[in-house]
Structure 1
């Protein structure tokens, strides 16, 4: 049995409207409607509240059919993958920005020779800027290739 059918059956067995059911588990009526229409799934905390409120084990609630379990696992892995891609892109972009800032500082800094004949120059900013640019591009490229590889592997596993 699909989770949407299971949650609707549970609500109807308790003789509750969607609003009453939602109030019991502290969510909105729209959330209950979306679950019953198979548009989305509740998060883990909400599943635990439903389980405790209606004296059901999580096995009964979730494992009524393997479709729900498979969907929860798939949604979780996609969320982790999206977070990884987001943060790696953010880190790569930050490294690129630092590299560009090094070049801007180098271009706008003043070089001078003091009275003792010592040259004062921010020469270290050029290799540092290149290092940050290279690091940022590497992080972005690796995360992009990893994403494409996982997407390709996922599509081939479905066939």
Structure 2
């Protein structure tokens, strides 16, 4: 019984990690489109490019934790 409880906690943790990571990834991609790129008086482009790789990183984390969650749930049954 104790082992079953531990597996359920791990499954919930991977589920919450997946949801949080995917929401952060969507937030990064939406922020990238909403924040405008500007060119200053010296001709230097300022844009929030850093949000793209961060968004892909969180997307990857969400997909991996979703696969872990799926594996743990299929192992329980």
State TM-score, norm by structure 1: 0.46
2:76 corresponds to which residue? 151
Do structure 1's residue 89 and structure 2's residue 10 form an aligned pair? no
Structure 1: give runs of 5+ residues left out of the alignment: 1-74, 153-159
Which of 1 and 2 has greater Rg? 1
Q: What is the rounded CA distance, in whole Å, between the counterparts of 2:57 and 2:10 in structure 1?
A: 23
Selected match of 2:54 from 128, 148, 153: 128
Alpha-carbon shift at residue 98 of structure 1 (Å)? 0.7
1:64 corresponds to which residue? none
Do structure 1's residue 114 and structure 2's residue 10 form an aligned pair? no
Alpha-carbon shift at residue 151 of structure 1 (Å)? 3.2
Q: What is the rounded CA distance, in whole Å, between the counterparts of 1:151 and 1:77 in structure 2?
A: 11
Check whether the contact 2:7–2:72 (CA below 8 A) recurs between aligned residues: no
Q: What is the rounded CA distance, in whole Å, between the counterparts of 2:47 and 2:19 in structure 1?
A: 28
Structure 1: 4+ residue segments shifted above 6 A = none
1:76 corresponds to which residue? 2
Structure 2: give runs of 5+ residues left out of the alignment: none
Structure with larger RCO (C-alpha < 8 A, sep 6+): 2
RMSD over equivalenced CA pairs, Å: 1.3
The CA deviation string for residues 65-98 of structure 1, in whole angstroms up to 9 with x for no partner, is: xxxxxxxxxx211111111100111011111111
Alpha-carbon shift at residue 124 of structure 1 (Å)? 1.5
State TM-score, norm by structure 2: 0.89
Q: What is the rounded CA distance, in whole Å, between the counterparts of 2:19 and 2:67 in structure 1?
A: 11
Q: What is the rounded CA distance, in whole Å, between the counterparts of 1:120 and 1:106 in structure 2?
A: 12
